Structure 1
Amino acid sequence: MSRWGRAALATLLIGCGVGGRASVVSPCTLAITAERRCEVREGALFCAGVSGVGWPYPEDATVSARRRVAERRVALRGEVVAVTLGERHGCALLADGGVQCWGDNSLGQLGSGVCDAGALAPRAVALPAGAKTLASLGGRTCALLEDDTAVCWGGVDHLPGARWPCRPRRVRDAEGRPLGALAQVEVDAAIDQEGRLWVWGSDFFGQISQSEPGARRAPSFEAARVAELRDVRAVASTGTGTCVIDARRRVQCWGLTVGSAERSAAAGVPRPRVLSDVHGAVALSCDVTGCCVVDGEGLRCWGARELRVPLRAAEVDDALELRLGEGRVCVRGARLGERCEAR
């Protein structure tokens, strides 16, 4: 193992949540969007930003009265260990494995079993088992459950043929069995305990990586294995494309990943393509506008805007959290503190 350190690499690359026997996880204590910021501190959730749809405070949250609100504590029933924010909703993971979400529910973002106008106050998600980690992107959320299987709920409204469930649905293999033995779950992608990568959802832009773009346009909960990738260390999605950190700590992307670090990830690339200017990657994060990676030279982002920020080796070694939101990216660590950049 290089100077980055085995413990730091494991913490950076495997999931976010309450942990478990199969993986070392780093709690997602920070979530950001263009208008909001939420942070977990000492078992409680605090949010600040612009009120409106997706704001977790009922007394402030109305569509017609948007205003900037100072940080305050969110009323949640239980100890909070992780938080994620989507485009118009948010979810909190509790220490007991429960999940509570708030915001827009027109696409089933709250996972309550009905699609409706949504909830200003956090609403419990109807999970089949306790959750260990959470990931949100756009209107979608996926969870790694205590039995090492995955469920997803919510959807996106811009993909052709998209019909998403209003309650969590299990991800299954080609034989219809729940996809199990998973170590990391992101939105529409997962790494199993042997380092193999599985993807599901829509394939309109070739993000399933098994066929030409558009071959499987309707969203599906049947997972496909990306056979050409082994010993995958991390995965992230833009919703229309997928990127991974492989065993050699390179970044490979396919589908529509909103540009690339070398401007070569063309729309609809159906097979993983190595980004030649990323070396020694230790953290990866994507949202609907692009991706960011921490590698041996520092922080770099591509997509809506390209960004390069040099970091010292000690800072990279300590980069325990990389969080990406529309317009901002934040890197956090015990020695680094918090460093955020506009993008």
Structure 2
Amino acid sequence: MTLLLPTSTAGSLPKPSWLSEPEKLWSPWKLEGEELAVAKRDALRLTLDDQVRAGISIVSDGEQTRQHFVTTLIEHLAGVDMEKRQTVRIRDRYDASVPTVVGAVSRDKPVFVEDVKYLRSLTDAPVKWALPGPLTMVDTLYDAHYKSREKLAMEFAVILNEEARELEAAGVNIIQFDEPAFNVFFDEVNDWGIAALERAIEGLNCETAAHICYGYGIKANTDWKKTLGSEWREYEETFPNLQKSNLDLISLECHNSHVPLELIELLRGKKVMVGAIDVANHAVESPKEVAGTLRQALQYVDADKLYPCTNCGMAPLPRVVAKGKLESLGAGAEIIRKELAVQKSAA
């Protein structure tokens, strides 16, 4: 990336009301068959346009082609029964009805490659594509076959690697693995979770990222955050080992969080995606607020390694709010670029 402070989104953006129910997570599709396929591509074009107009440097599909950030991949795999549901406690904080692993998991064909090819045909900008991470996949299922979270995670890592290699070949510049479970299951992260991510990125030449968030801005997550105290130091448990990994970028939440920004120093040498947009409320940050968050982050990471982004997915937000937040992200990053240019010329 040649642009200083390249901006991106961490995950989902709101879907149009004609595609699925707005302001609702994981809402069912309103269409079927070919009509649905066409509608997803229309939505992808719209969300790309929103990103470009907002000055977002690294674009994505905004998860317009996916109902759920984990299960949309899982539903295409052999060995998982999507109809056989079990209620389990996920992320160790709320109950969810999830699919069941009934046999050996495998991937028979690419899942997202055609979507990537279509997005790539629309833009010359760098493209970032998100996949669920192995630990988070395991934590979003009921395993009736392997009976081992580690073994299932490693099987998923192989599948993710297969998919990632084809996404790279289709034109993706950054592949991001979403691992909200990394802020919960610290022993598993350090024992085998990071190793599973290493397996998932094996052989890739594109940049790779791990997005580690505190979850969507839904009540279950905001209530949990209230129990974390005045400082959220969960990243302290995993960043030292992530710093040693082969991942290129690590994503963390910053704006409106209680994350001590000095924790970024634990990632020395890595590129850091700094969440400068809060998705847990409808207030649109001003560009000056975004710039303030980025200035703080620059105390702990070099400018050429700072990637401003949103916090976790914005799917549940009204579309006008999400557009406003994207515009502020782009404008806030531009404020800092100009400040850095002035500093450089004065040096």
TM-score, normalised via structure 2 length: 0.31
TM-score, normalised via structure 1 length: 0.31
More strand by share: 1
More helix by share: 2
Higher relative contact order (CA 8 A, sep 6+): 2
